[in-house]
Structures are given as structure tokens and as C-alpha cells.
């Protein structure tokens, strides 16, 4: 079996990097190297990775000054030796057959396929599913479908031919310099889709970490990131109808509104819903989420305003339950686990994975949209 180079960018990832490494090293596809690029962490991340590197020679720690996720991934790719590159974020996990099934599918699809992707399920801080998932069966030429929406959903769900990455030049590090991080993966997937076909391993193979801390990102920066990406694509592909670009913006703003709502930011939610209608005001009117998020956020703001005269209890909170205290506690537990863990057990997918009508509906809708865009 071919060598797979696993690239893990890590910045202050001590809470979860142990789980990520354990899931990677317990893959049924064992011919791999694991390059962890520490992007200037200020916590125990380097120490944890060194412990694993001493235990398993396939693990290598690369350290650099903080430069952002795109530079970290490019650093890992530049030092990789494998025929295939498999990125994974330092808080996500892979289930045991992820690499085996994706590499097998790429080999079956032939050299015209540059990317294989698997399905992912959202997990909480305890590795348990929390309801969200990404699944599609879109294959072949996927450029317009990828332009419309990032159906892969995250940075941990692909195996990519090294030769394809070298041809397109890797991740775009300029987005950080322009204060527009957030869509580096989507931009990469689009440039790969210009030249290569995609294939899929249709199974839930990735656990995508979604916690309160992970969802507290700068959504305005993510919006700028997508805007810059789409502006560049539109200049390169003026033949693509403008309606598709508007639909892409509107759908992404809807996603940012949903993330803002989950992060308990009602003002941001209403802002992004306004951007949804500003970008494209027809299709959003048929989406139930537009109305539910608008009404829910407006009610939140109203109730907060009426209660604003009441004294705050923030100073009375138990500090052990504050986010920074929880993060420090988890970080210490991860370091302890590094010393105690002598055997790696394969990560099996949870039993309560998405299925039934919700999965069939998502797959059917994705395939219909893909056919309409061809």
C-alpha cells in the first residue's frame, strides 16, 4: 500500500491533539508518516507530540513561528514523502478505516481523480455525535458544485494526491495577511477541482469537533475570506453565471448566521441574515431557517434588553467552569494521558450515526443540485 503523509497543523492544541494522534496511528492503513506542524503553540502541544514521537517513529514534530494554518499545512506538505497527503485538524479524529477506504477508492478511480473524501459527523468534547453531519455522493468533475457550496465541509475529510497539490501550489497563505482566514480549505478544493476529478468513500469516517470554543470564531473574517475567494474565481471564470456566485455567497452567509446562533450571538445572527438577503433574496425566502433564526434572535435581544437592569452574577461564577479553566484542565489531562496510554485502540464509529430519511434527503438534494449545475 502507498505511503500516506498525514499533516496535522497544531496551535495550542493540547486539549485534543492526543486524541487526534491516537486516531491516526490506529488506522487500519499502517503505511503512513505523521507530520505535526506546531505553529508557535504556547501550551503543552510540543511536549505531547514529542512524547508520541518517542513512542512511534512515524510521528515527527516540526516547529515554526506562528504563521497561520495555511503556512503550517504547506510546511508539512513540503517535508512529506508520501504519494498521498491526508490533512487533519488537531482536534478532529478519524475512525479506523478512514485512510484504507479513501486510498482504495483513489487507486480504483485512477490518476484523473485527485481527491477522495469521506463523510464526517460532528462530535463534542467527549467524541460523541451531537447531531450535525456532512455527507455527499458527488463524484467526477465537481467544480461548479464546489463553487456553490463546500460539500466536503471541513479540512479533515480528504486524501489528496501529492502530485495534484504540487501542481496547484498548496494552500493560499495570503488570506491571513489580508485578515481573511477561514476559507483556505474551500479555496484549495476549488483549485483542485479545476484540474482533477473527485471521488468519495461513502461512509462516516471522520469525527469533526464542534464545541463552544471551536465555534467562537471571527465570522466577519470568514465572510471576507469567502468574498476574496469568490472575487478571484469570478475574474478567472466570467463564463459562469453571476447567479451561481450570488447563491454561493447567500448560502455561506446562512451558514455563518447558523454558527452565530449556536455561539449565542443574536446580533451577529441578524447581521448575517441581512447579508443573506442582500446577496440573493429569492431562494432564502424558501428556507425555514431564515425565519426561525430571525425570530429567535430578535426575541433573545428583546429579553436581554428587558433584563439588562438586573445585576450580573458573572463575578459569582465558579472559576473552575469558565472556558479558560476547562481548557487548562483538559490540557493537563491530555499530558497525563500521554504518559499513561501504552496501547492505542482503534477508533470505532459511534453506533448512533445519521441515517434514514435525513441522510437520504441530504444525498438526494446534493445530487440534484450537482446535476443542475453541470
What is the residue extent of each domain of the chain? 91-307+325-374
Percent of the chain beyond pLDDT 90? 78
With beta carbons less than 8 A apart as the criterion, state whether 274 and 284 touch: no
Dist CA 192 CA 99 (whole Å): 20
DSSP 186-243: HHHHHHHHHH-EEEEEEEEEEEEE--TTTT---HHHHHHHHHHHHHHHHHH-TTS-HH
Q: Which residue has the higher pLDDT, 215 or 209?
A: 209
Q: Which of 70-79, 119-128, 211-220, 333-342 has the lowest mean pLDDT?
A: 333-342
Where does the pLDDT of residue 336 fall: very low under 50, low under 70, confident under 90, or very high at 90 and above?
low
| Backbone dihedral region for residue 94 (phi beyond 0: left; psi -120 to 50: alpha; all else: beta) | beta
With beta carbons less than 8 A apart as the criterion, state whether 35 and 76 touch: yes
Q: For residue 152, what is the DSSP state? A: T
Dist CA 226 CA 258 (whole Å): 16
Predicted local distance difference test score (pLDDT) of residue 318? 37
Classify strands 84-87 and 113-123 as parallel, antiparallel or unpaired: unpaired
Of residues 139, 146, 287, the one with CA closest to residue 230 = 146
Buried b (16+ CB within 10 A) or exposed e, 51-81: bbbeeeebbbbbeeeebbbbbbbbbbbeebe
Dist CA 8 CA 304 (whole Å): 41
- The CATH topology of domain 91-307+325-374 is Spore Coat Polysaccharide Biosynthesis Protein SpsA; Chain A (3.90.550)
Dist CA 273 CA 294 (whole Å): 7
- Residues 214-230: what's their mean pLDDT? 86
User: Is 59 in a helix, a strand, or coil?
Assistant: strand
Predicted local distance difference test score (pLDDT) of residue 5? 98
Tell whether the model's pLDDT for residue 105 goes beyond 50. Answer: yes
Amino acid at each position: 500500500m502507498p505511503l500516506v503523509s498525514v499533516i496535522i497543523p497544531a496551535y495550542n492544541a493540547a486539549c485534543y491533539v492526543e486524541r487526534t494522534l491516537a486516531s491516526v496511528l490506529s488506522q487500519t492503513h499502517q503505511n503512513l508518516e505523521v507530520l505535526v506542524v506546531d505553529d508557535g503553540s504556547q501550551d503543552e502541544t510540543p511536549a505531547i507530540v514529542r512524547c508520541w514521537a518517542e513512542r512511534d517513529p512515524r510521528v515527527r514534530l516540526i516547529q515554526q513561528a506562528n504563521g497561520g494554518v495555511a503556512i503550517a499545512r504547506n510546511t508539512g506538505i513540503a517535508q512529506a514523502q508520501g504519494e498521498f497527503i491526508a490533512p487533519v485538524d488537531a482536534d478532529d479524529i478519524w475512525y479506523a478505516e478512514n485512510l484504507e477506504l479513501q486510498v482504495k477508492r483513489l487507486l480504483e478511480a485512477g490518476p484523473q481523480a485527485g481527491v477522495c473524501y469521506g463523510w464526517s459527523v460532528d462530535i463534542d468534547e467527549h467524541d460523541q455525535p451531537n447531531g450535525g453531519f456532512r455527507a455527499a455522493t458527488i463524484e467526477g468533475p465537481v467544480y461548479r458544485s464546489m463553487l456553490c457550496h463546500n460539500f466536503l465541509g471541513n479540512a479533515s475529510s480528504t486524501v489528496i494526491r501529492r502530485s495534484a497539490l504540487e501542481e496547484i501550489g498548496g494552500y493560499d497563505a495570503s488570506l491571513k495577511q489580508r485578515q481573511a482566514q477561514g476559507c483556505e480549505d474551500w479555496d484549495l478544493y476549488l483549485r483542485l477541482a479545476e484540474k482533477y476529478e473527485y471521488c468519495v468513500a461513502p461512509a462516516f469516517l471522520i469525527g469533526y469537533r464542534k464545541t463552544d470554543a471551536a465555534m467562537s470564531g471571527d465570522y466577519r473574517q470568514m465572510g471576507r475570506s469567502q468574498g476574496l475567494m469568490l472575487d478571484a474565481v469570478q475574474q478567472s471564470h466570467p463564463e459562469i453565471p453571476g447567479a451561481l456566485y450570488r447563491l454561493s455567497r447567500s448560502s455561506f452567509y446562512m451558514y455563518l448566521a447558523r454558527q452565530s446562533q449556536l455561539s449565542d450571538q443574536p446580533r451577529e445572527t441578524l447581521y448575517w441574515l441581512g447579508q443573506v438577503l442582500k446577496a440573493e433574496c429569492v431562494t432564502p425566502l424558501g428556507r425555514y431557517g431564515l425565519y426561525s433564526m430571525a425570530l429567535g434572535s430578535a426575541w433573545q435581544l428583546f429579553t436581554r434588553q428587558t433584563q439588562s437592569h438586573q445585576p450580573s452574577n458573572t463575578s459569582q461564577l465558579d472559576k473552575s467552569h469558565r472556558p479558560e479553566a476547562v481548557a487548562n484542565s483538559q490540557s493537563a489531562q491530555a499530558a497525563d494521558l500521554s504518559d499513561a496510554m501504552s496501547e492505542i485502540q482503534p477508533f470505532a464509529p459511534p453506533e448512533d450515526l445519521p441515517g434514514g430519511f435525513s441522510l437520504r434527503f441530504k444525498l438526494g438534494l446534493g445530487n440534484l443540485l450537482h446535476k443542475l449545475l453541470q
